[in-house]
Amino acid sequence: MLLASRGLAVAFPDAFPVSPGHCLVIPRRHEPDYFKLSREEQEEVWEIVWELRELLEAEHGTTSFNVGINAGEAAGQIVPHAHVHVIPRYPGDDPDPRGGIRWVLPETARYWESPPPAS
83 annotated active-site? yes
Tell me whether strands 4-5 and 23-27 are parallel, antiparallel or unpaired. unpaired
Among candidate residues 22, 30, 83, 85, the one labeled active-site is 83
Tell me whether strands 84-89 and 4-5 are parallel, antiparallel or unpaired. unpaired
Alpha-carbon distance of 115 to 75, in angstroms, equals: 27
Task: Count Cβ atoms within 10 A of the Cβ of residue 79 and give its class: 0-12 exposed, 13-18 middle, 19 or more buried.
Answer: exposed
| Phi then psi dihedrals of residue 83, to 5 deg | -160, 155
Query: Which residues are marked as active site?
Result: 83
